Amino acid sequence: MATRQTRILAHAATAPSTLVLFLWMIVPLAMTIYFSLLRYSLLDPGNESFIGLVNYEYFLSDPAFFAALFNTLKLVGGVLLISVVGGILLALLLDQPCWGRGIVRLMVIAPFFVMPTVSALIWKNLLMHPVQGLFAWIANLLGLQPIDWFAQAPLTAITLIVAWQWLPFATLILLTAIQSLDEEQKEAAEMDGTPPLSFFFYIVLPHLARPITVVILIETIFLLNVFAEILVTTGGGPGNLTTNIPFLVYAQALLQFDVGGASAGGIIAVILANIVAIFLVRMIGRNLEA
């Protein structure tokens, strides 16, 4: 609904953004694909040669890759489980009448605004340290053996830290969704004498289905890329117990200087992320229509 003139202006107005985003997406991706087909080491510059899919073969037959893939899946799965289930419970709780709800809300949301390097180091040292950490002290008080988190259960430790960062996100979105549940619907259910549990399963949960999906998809996109938390706590170790795919690619490229191999890993990560992204984009697209 506009004139030719406005439409021309509109094209001119979107062009710069479209152009820079296109370049930002396509140039690195094309270069990564190209590198992934080369024998290319930063230690041996100038001696690049085309080797086809060898890097992929190498990467896909490397046990470290599968370890990283499983670590990625465990990390993503664990954080999703904690943040979504916890998020639903928290959202239900915060929807209850409560004095000082605004302040409680702020406290619950706060971890989301903490930069990843800070939360990782605070948890690792102040809370999870096997001797001087607060958790160890609490365990001793209760007469339990303190856990040496980063030696005994390093991936679980990282999962907990990342979950702490993402729980607020899930809570906030699910709380917004619960509050958008029609007040009259709640009153109608009350008039019908619906018991709280049935009310939750038949009315609240179906209403939350969509936001839950959105939370899962968006978190997955970000969780596939967890990096800083691993870098500053374990450096991928011990062994490769906490190496996920982004960290593996980083280590291959910038610690072992194998550009070709790392690029193949990067492309595999892109493919994984795209599987999730397709679902997410479709969902957002459907919402745009409405």
Long-range contacts, stretch 67-72, CB < 8 angstroms, 24+ apart: 67/240, 67/241, 67/243, 68/240, 68/243, 68/244, 68/245, 68/247, 68/248, 69/245, 71/155, 71/240, 71/241, 71/242, 71/243, 71/244, 72/224, 72/244, 72/245, 72/272
Contacting another protein within 31-70 (CB under 8 A):
31-32, 35
- The answer to whether residue 151 forms part of the interface with another protein (CB under 8 A) is no
Contacting another protein within 86-145 (CB under 8 A):
90, 93-94, 96-101, 103-119, 121-123, 125-127, 129, 131-132, 134, 136-137
CA 127 to CA 110: how far, in whole Å?
A: 17
In this complex, which beta carbon is closest to another protein, that of residue 78 or of residue 266? 266
Region of 3-11, 46-54, 60-68, 197-205 interacting with another protein (CB under 8 A) = 3-11
Indicate which single residue of 82, 173, 189, 216 sits in contact with another protein (rule: CB under 8 A).
Answer: 173
Indicate which single residue of 169, 189, 240, 243 sits in contact with another protein (rule: CB under 8 A).
Answer: 169
Contacting another protein within 224-283 (CB under 8 A):
224-225, 227-228, 231-233, 245-246, 249-250, 253-254, 259, 262-263, 265-267, 269-270, 272-274, 276-277, 280-281, 283
- How many other C-beta atoms lie within 10 A of the C-beta of residue 278? 11
Phi, psi of 281 (to 5 degrees): -65, -40
